[in-house]
Structure 1
Amino acid sequence: MRVTQAPIVPIVDEMNNAMETLIKLSADLRTLTGGVDDINRTWDLKKDLPGFVEQLEELNNKLTATRELLIKVNGRPDAISQGLVTVSKDIETLLKYPDEIPYDAGRLNKLQGKLADLAKQLSSQPLQLDRFFIVPANQSFPKMEATISEKIEGSIINFFNSFVSSKKSDQEDGQVLNVWMNRGRDYVNLLQNMADESFTPQTGIKVKVNLLKDDKLLLLMNAAGIAPDVGIGLPHDTPFDYAIRNGVYNLKQFPDFEEMYDQFAPGSWMPYYYDGGYYAVPETQAFSVMFYRKDILKNLGLSVPDTWDDVYRMLPILQQNEMNFTPVEHSIFLQMHGLEYYKQDGSRTGLSSEKSFEAFKAWTELQNKYGIDQRSDNFVQHFRDGSYPIGIADLNAYLQLSVAAPELNGVWGVAPIPGVKQEDGTVVRWTGGNGGDQFASAIFKHTKKPQESWEFLKWWMSADVQEKYGTDLETLNGVTFRWYTANVDAFVKLPWKEEDLQSILEQWRWFREVAKVPGSYYMEREIKNAWTRTVIGGENYRTSLETAIKEVDREVQRKMQEFHFIDANGKLVRSLNLPVITKPWGGVDKYVEK
């Protein structure tokens, strides 16, 4: 048995054609108005934009014919045909007062969205079957509901079970590995099922996966001595905070750690490094890429930029058409321009070098010199309406556009972030990640089962398990649950578009997260304060950055002294010896098309 969409294919094609027409009309209207809805200007649309009204009338007639065809195929009106009625009425309202259309050009974008949602509903018609019953002829089917006596028996059992403490579980069983997962219940249940089906039979190690509702509870649980053996889904800054307080295991103690290390980009390990050891395994990795509207760039005669010099050249054309490029976070921009956040010994920042001053100046000039907006409230919405036809965002935007912007299907793409061309012609694209979407797995120091915990981590982060976990998660819950695994061998097997995957992998090779040192939490705040002083307050970039350097250095040295890297006289006693990564990761080469 299968679902066939053959009868509705012509209908979907007509709806897609209607969306393309609306995109074209919207672009023409933006060109006419310059992207400004000026209510003080008088328009004569038939004269100012010849053919616009006629194309809108023709579109409405085609939608009416499409609706009638849909009713004929279904045999009756349904929610989708009624939706087409609503779209037609909206168009008729526009046509009633055509000279007022330029006052609210966004209405055409809303019509695109409505049509896209209807087309998506029409194309998504899964066949759902609960179960089959094969019964001999002349015999009745099994009963489908419990009898009254069975219901009473079940209620009594549930009543007595309610008095059993939930704590009296596998958590107190010394033979069971206690895993806490800082994610939703869907994630926890899937991992528990996979561990029961695969890990336990392979190793003989029983696992109980528990839901951790808030990672801040770990602090209280650890103080009470009831922290888990393994923590999963930990925010990327949590392992370092525990490592400097001897709360998690140094994974380099395990003899086969190097095998685990080689599976991930070296830059993804940076936040979990401390004093010669690594204290967590990268679990997910959500970095940023560049998104662009193919249709708008083509109309403007622009190509996808490869370097920041290319971006600077295209900005005047975008801004002349009331468009712009997205604001850029410092973790995305500064590293590729030569800024070093910390000195290798970890005793102070590396911001005082001349390269760092030049990188900070280039970052603030995005607003002060090139007119990029100071902030952006919602990239996806700006991207949909065309005000940001190109910009940088994380992979969450990729999923939002795939799911919530079906009207843009086929007219947008992704590319690596623009880089900085070197003297030898190579383009450097070093970028940090989006910390809020990066998570790690760690082994807590109090565990009595370190080897079993390590075996679980190796199983959990293996390519096969990560692929299956990501695939099952998306199959059960939809594309919005796409799993950003840090294991590239698993990542490439998830359902990415091949063209987009190649761009993501190219950016992956240049991924280098910023290392952490005691007191590094000050860096984010002071870098943003320095930007605010320069861009909004008009302060000289060098003076502003020097102020930030002074504040960060003071806090870093105070914390380094607390953890005995610096003595009471401010003298460095021992170095953190931070890792240095200067070459792009070759682990993606086998998947990148040459």
Structure 2
Amino acid sequence: MKKQLLILLVCLLLVVSVTAKQTALNIWAAWALEWCAIYQEITDKYFTPETGIEVKIDALPWDGFEQKFLLAAATGDVPDVGLTGGLGPADLGVRGAVVNLQARFGKEVDDLTKQFFPGLMRSLTFYDAVFGMPMIYGSYNLFYRTDILNELGITIPQTWDDVRGIIPKLQAQKRNFSMAYGHKSVADYSMFLFQRNGDWYTADLKKSAIATPEGIQAFQEYVELYTKYGIPKDIQPAFMTFKTGDIPIQIGPTFDYANLQVAAPELRGKWEMSMVPGTPNQSGELNRSAYIGTMGIMIFEKSKNVPEAWEWVKWFMSEDAQSKVANQIMTKIPGGIFLPANYRALMNINIPENHKTVLVDQGMVGKAPAYALSPESVTQRYLENALSSAILLNEDPQKAILGAAKEMDSELARKQAEFKRFISKWVQ
């Protein structure tokens, strides 16, 4: 009898061991080690006890992580889940390497995406396919020194006409307004483009849409801030000129927000933030859309644990888990700031209430870059070339942006030919 019980116990242990191996998830994350340690800690504390699914999160160096994911997809030696750049899931998804979550999980995907800033999904989809979920949220906002603007009697600009109106007042005091020319011009131009209801690509994603009247007018308006109004080019680092007061009002990324919170204690109480200036429509309503971005979470097609991986993704992207992650990062990592793509979770993080409101409001009207096969870095290069021609060489802005549109069209045609065997199932 004892021998039979012993055999039964051994069999049960073997079953448990095999089951554990089947439900152990391997996750590669293109994040800093300290951040990944927090993801692991919260997963171990809350997810694994609830589900019995073991999870191992490995950090990938930022330099070269995209190539590592591509190589893994090519060889089949993949993790279950990858945390990568915002356009990464769609780029691997069109190659058949990443699960189309919409096709696989349907309504669950619909329910989960309702919790995210809607514009973020543009980077993670290709036609009707959804290849990833947005993990974090980054935006561009207006930052301003309240002490200096109050001293100069300048009110916070609500429109671009307001901006053009305050620039001479700033310049008269040897100060100025700045944007991201030279290091993220795509974000700057996107504001003017989106606020005119334009976009980078046509609806079928086969051609650029910047040669439209909206695209041309947006480019001209952007260029004139430099050529006609004399705002500075390539302010580096913008954070320092904000601290010194030389640029007391500027449009910058949420990275600047983290810097101001941590690295500029002397400015506490002397600065604020708001949504970017807007463009009024025919009814007078302001369109304050701006560029936003994310990092994506994807599940590999060759994973043997796709259902379990989806359970982790759903849990990790929930309001509760994202709130815990964000607040742990800001508590344990000096200067760390994690803005969840889940807007409900963002309202739970430990920053001032008025800042949370600005970030949520900006995110709700913001748009991430759409995935259209061509890397954003290539689009950025074409735009930078057009800006250099118009701003530095005095070329007609319309001619410059039409040249960029032509280059984009050629690149898109080349990419569509290159990916033809992959994308035929999705292209409409």
- TM-score, normalization: structure 1? 0.64
Contact 2:118-2:364 within 8 A present in 1 as well: no
Question: Residue type matched to 1:511 in 2?
Answer: G
Partner of 1:244: 94
**CA distance 1:338–1:534, change in 2 (3 Å):** farther
Q: Deviations over 1:367-409 (max 9, x none)?
A: 0111111221111111111110101111111121122211111
1:347, distance to aligned residue in structure 2 (A):
1.4
2-structure distance, mates of 1:574, 1:333:
34
User: Which residue of structure 1 lines up, in the alignment, with residue 369 of structure 2?
Assistant: 514
The answer to whether the Cα contact below 8 Å between 1:181 and 1:210 also exists between their aligned partners in 2 is: yes
2:116 corresponds, among 237, 241, 264, to 264
Q: Name which of 369, 376, 388 aligns with 1:532.
A: 388
Which of residues 101, 105, 108 is equivalent to 1:254?
Answer: 105
Q: Deviations over 1:438-478 (max 9, x none)?
A: 31111011111111111010001101011111112222223
The answer on whether the counterparts of 1:345 and 1:575 sit within 8 Å (CA) in structure 2 is no
Separation (CA, whole Å) in 1 of partners of 2:328 and 2:391: 46
Whether 1:196 and 2:78 are equivalent positions in the alignment is: no
Select which of 333, 338, 347 maps to 2:192.
Answer: 333
Asked whether 1:187 is paired with 2:42, we answer: no
Is the partner of 1:210 in helix, strand or coil?
strand
Aligned to 1:69: none
Deviations 1:344-372 (A, max 9, x none): 11111112211211111111111011111
Match of 1:360 among 206, 219, 224: 219
Choose from 478, 490, 493 the match for 2:345.
490
Within-5 A mapping of 1:552-563: 552-563=408-419
Shift of 1:240: 2.1
Amino acid at match of 1:471: N
Matched residues in 1 for 2:100 and 2:362: separation? 29
CA RMSD, Structure 1 to Structure 2 (Å): 2.2
Alpha-carbon distance, 1:565 to partner = 8.6
In structure 2, what is the equivalent of residue 499 of structure 1? 354
For residue 348 of structure 2, what is the amino acid of its counterpart? Answer: K
Identify the match of residue 542 of structure 1 among 398, 406, 409. Answer: 398
Separation of aligned partners in 2, 1:352 and 1:566: 28
| 2:132 alignment partner AA | A
Q: Which letter does structure 2 place at the counterpart of 1:281?
A: M
> Which whole-Å CA distance do the structure 2 matches of 1:574 and 1:477 have between them?
44
The answer on whether the counterparts of 2:87 and 2:123 sit within 8 Å (CA) in structure 1 is yes
Unaligned runs of 5+ in 2: 1-17, 181-187
Q: AA paired with 2:420?
A: H
Asked whether the 8 Å contact 1:368–1:535 carries over to 2, the reply is yes
Q: What is the DSSP-based 3-state SS (H/G/I as helix, E as strand, rest coil) of the residue aligned with 1:481?
A: coil
Please state how far the C-alpha of 1:575 moved relative to its aligned partner: 7.4
Per the TM alignment, residue 576 of structure 1 is displaced from its structure 2 partner at its CA by 4.2
1:464 counterpart residue number: 320
Tell me which of 275, 288, 292 is aligned to 2:144.
292
Which residue in 2 is equivalent to 1:317? 169
| Whole-Å separation in 1 of the counterparts to 2:197 and 2:421 | 27
User: Contact 1:337–1:355 (CA<8 Å) still a contact in 2?
Assistant: yes
**How far 1:520 sits from its partner (Å)?**
4.8
Task: Tell me, yes or no, if the aligned pair for 2:319 and 2:344 is still in contact at 8 Å.
Answer: yes
Measured after TM superposition, the shift of residue 221 of structure 1 is: 2.5
Equivalent of residue 224 in structure 1, options 75, 82, 90: 75
Looking at structure 2, the residues matched to 222 and 333 of structure 1 have their Cα atoms a distance apart, in angstroms, of: 37
Report deviation, 1:546.
Answer: 1.6
- Distance apart, 1:331 and its partner CA: 2.8
1:443 to 276, 288, 299: 299
With over 3 angstroms needed to count, the CA separation of the structure-2 counterparts of 1:492 and 1:386, relative to structure 1, is same
Give the secondary structure class of the aligned counterpart of 2:178: coil
Contact 1:280–1:440 (8 Å) recurs in 2: yes
Corresponding position of 2:185? none
1:381 has 2:381 as partner: no
Which letter does structure 1 place at the counterpart of 2:244? D
Q: What is the SS of the residue equivalent to 2:269?
A: coil
Amino acid at match of 1:248: V
1:512 alignment partner AA: K
CA contact 1:344–1:576 (8 Å) conserved in 2? no
Aligned length: 398
- Offset, 1:187: 1.9
- Cα offset for 1:566? 12
Cα pair distance change 1:464/1:575, threshold 3 Å: closer
Query: Which SS does the other structure have where 1:291 is aligned?
Result: strand
Partner Cα separation in structure 1 for residue 329 and residue 373 of structure 2: 37
Secondary structure at the residue paired with 1:509?
helix
Contact 1:338 1:359 in 2 (8 A): no
Aligned to 1:209: 57
Q: Which residue is equivalent to 2:157? A: 305
CA gap 1:201/1:348 in 2 versus in 1, 3 angstroms: same
Deviates more, 1:252-261 or 1:323-332: 323-332
Runs of 4+ in structure 1 over 3 Å off = 172-175, 573-577
Paired with 2:326 and 2:375, the residues of 1 have a C-alpha distance of 33
Question: Identical aligned pairs, as a percentage?
Answer: 30
Partners of 1:181 and 1:528 in 2: CA distance: 31
Q: Give the aligned partner of residue 273 of structure 1.
A: 125
Letter in 2 for 1:485: P
1:271-296 Cα shifts (integer Å, max 9, x gaps): 11113111010001111111111111
